Every structure is written in C-alpha cells, then in structure tokens.
Amino acid sequence: MEDPWKREFEFAVEVARKAGAEIRKAGESEIRVMTKSCTVDLVTKTDERVEKIIIGSLKEEFGEGTHCFIGEESVAKGEACVLTDKPTWIIDPVDGTTNFVHGFPFVAVSIGFAVNKELEFGVVYSCLEDKMYKAQKGKGAFCNDEPIQVSDVQDIKKSIIISEHGVDRSPEKVTKIFSTMQKILCIPVHGLRGSGTAATNMCLVACGAVEAFFEIGIHCWDIAAGAVIVKEAGGLLLDVNGGPFDLMSRRMVSANSDTIAQRIIKEIEIFPVVRDDALVQKK
C-alpha cells in the first residue's frame, strides 16, 4: 500500500533522536533561563538552538518552499502560526522547558506533520527516558518499536487523570483550574497526576498508564504529534466542550474512551484562550 509520507516520517524520528541528544548534552551544563509571556513561561537557548537544528535539517532534506513550518520558538519571535493545506511540520523543540531547567525527568521533542490540515504522523521523543513514541495514520502507535495501546478502564472511579496548571497564573484562570480539579477528585478518581509536558502526557494516555489528559492553554505544537499517537493507540480526542478536536483551539481532551472523555468533559470549567491561529499584532 502506498505510503506517501514514509520518508518524512522516518526522517522525523531521526531528527527527534538527534534533538533529544542535544537536549541531554545541554542539560549537563548550567542553563540560562529566560522568560516569555510571564515569569513562569520559561525558554532557554537550548529551545531556540534545537528548533533551528530541527527546521534546518528538515528544510535541507525536503527543500524550502514545498513544506511549511510551525515551531514554538519561531512563533514566539513573530512567525505566523496558520495551518494551511500545504505539508506542515508542527514542532515543539523542548516540550517541558520548566522540567528541563530543573532536571525533572520528563522532557520531550514533539514533531507532528499535517497535510490538507489533517495530521499524518507524530513523533514524541521523551529524551531523558529515551522513549521514542511514534505513530503514522492507520498504522498503530509504538514506544521504542513496541506496539502500545490505551487502557481498557471504562469506570471513571478507577481512572488516573492528568492535567496541568499551565503557565497562566491569573486569578480567574487559576480559580477555574482548581475548581475543575476539585470536581474531578470528588468523583472520585484514583488519582490526578501531571508530568509537566503535554506531549508526554498524551503518550501516557496512549500507553495506558493514565486514562485521560485534558488542558486549556496548550498550543498546537504541544499536541500535534501526541494527537496521532493517542488515536493510533485506540484513544480519541475531543474539544473540552465535547465537540470535535480543533488543533488550533489551544484546548483538548485526550482519552482512552468516549465514556471517560465525556465524564471528564462534564466537570471541566472552561475559560477563554486566544487561538493559535488568531491574528496577533506583531511587536
């Protein structure tokens, strides 16, 4: 059967591995921390360097002009963040920068690939654990080449749910986040966890370690790759209001089953976030 994006997929795995090695090396020396939108939204030279390496390698291999790129650090510097029909690489060079700065064990390179606005494959390399998660549409999901699948837990009272506090500490948002946490804990669920990286959280759903992950405030580059991995592992994605998943909406529920997803959706207190593809005034 024809696999039009096989070359891109294999190259993505190779590039993610190289990027992960860079991250590990950088973690051995002292890390200078800078901030972006607020004092807890961290970025380092490693984020920027790794993104240049990834995009540079991809442009060299596939030519500039035929493919498009949406990268977290490029967008931070003013590049457009719009998904078109063209083959598009959606990249988070270091997902879990806070973890990276502290040496907390979950740091991932996340590379998703979309054509005609549909996600074709995803690669998430959890580089401190040396776990390569990957999935191509229609071909299953894998961790270090072993097939993975979501858990079969259907009872919300036997589930572990993941969510994150995010970097926005404004009181209205924090109040809603905590209210949601409280409602979910009171179901009760087995536990609430958070690894600190959305891409890793989605892989934890995909390999069955947790039943669902939801968050409001993430970005397309955090979830593009994980979205394919979760789906190919037998899970599903929805918007936090129960509608269809929207990659640019900055919010998402990923779960092992519709039953669990719907039950979580009932409890989520939604707050507004600006879409990734909203037109923003350049500085």
Taking the complex as a whole, the smallest distance from the CB of residue 55 to another protein amounts, in Å, to 27
Structure tokens at 97: 């920068």
Cβ neighbour number for residue 129 with a 10 Å cutoff: 16
Question: What number of CA atoms fall less than 13 Å from residue 237's CA on the CB side?
Answer: 23
Could you tell me which of 114, 134, 120 has the C-alpha nearest to residue 199? 134
> ∠ CA 30-35-36 to the nearest 5 degrees?
140
Q: Out of 160, 206, 261, 264, point to the residue binding another protein (CB under 8 A).
A: 160
Query: Interacting stretch for another protein, rule CB under 8 A, among 34-42, 57-65, 134-142, 222-230?
Result: 34-42
Taking the least distance from each CB to another protein, the nearer of 139 and 176 is 176
Dist CA 198 CA 220 (whole Å): 10
Taking the least distance from each CB to another protein, the nearer of 138 and 188 is 188
Q: Is 66 in the site for another protein (CB under 8 A)?
A: no
Taking the complex as a whole, the smallest distance from the CB of residue 146 to another protein amounts, in Å, to 13
Q: Is 157 in the site for another protein (CB under 8 A)?
A: yes
Cβ neighbour number for residue 4 with a 10 Å cutoff: 9
Taking the complex as a whole, the smallest distance from the CB of residue 149 to another protein amounts, in Å, to 12
- Grouping H, G, I as helix, E, B as strand and the rest as coil, residue 156 is helix
Output the DSSP codes for 142-169.
EETTEE--------GGG-EEE----S--
Q: Out of 188, 242, 243, 272, point to the residue binding another protein (CB under 8 A).
A: 188
Q: Is 192 in the site for another protein (CB under 8 A)?
A: yes
Could you tell me which of 136, 256, 135 has the C-alpha nearest to residue 205? 256
Output the DSSP codes for 40-96.
TSEEEHHHHHHHHHHHHHHHHHH-BTTBEEEEHHHHHTT------SS-EEEEEEEE-
Q: Is 270 in the site for another protein (CB under 8 A)?
A: no
Taking the complex as a whole, the smallest distance from the CB of residue 103 to another protein amounts, in Å, to 5
Which residues from 194-223 bind another protein, rule CB under 8 A? 194-196, 204, 208-210
Query: Interacting stretch for another protein, rule CB under 8 A, among 56-64, 83-91, 179-187, 247-255?
Result: 179-187
Q: Is 234 in the site for another protein (CB under 8 A)?
A: no
92 carries a ligand binding annotation: yes
Structure tokens at 60: 């060299």
Taking the complex as a whole, the smallest distance from the CB of residue 143 to another protein amounts, in Å, to 12
The residue behind tokens 């919010």 is 251
Cβ neighbour number for residue 200 with a 10 Å cutoff: 27
Q: Which residues are annotated as a binding site for Mg(2+)?
A: 72, 92, 95, 222
Q: Give the residue numbers of the binding site.
A: 72, 92, 95, 222
Q: Which residues bind another protein (CB under 8 A)?
A: 33, 39-40, 42, 98-99, 101-105, 129, 151, 157-158, 160, 165, 169, 171, 174, 178, 181-182, 185-186, 188-196, 204, 208-210
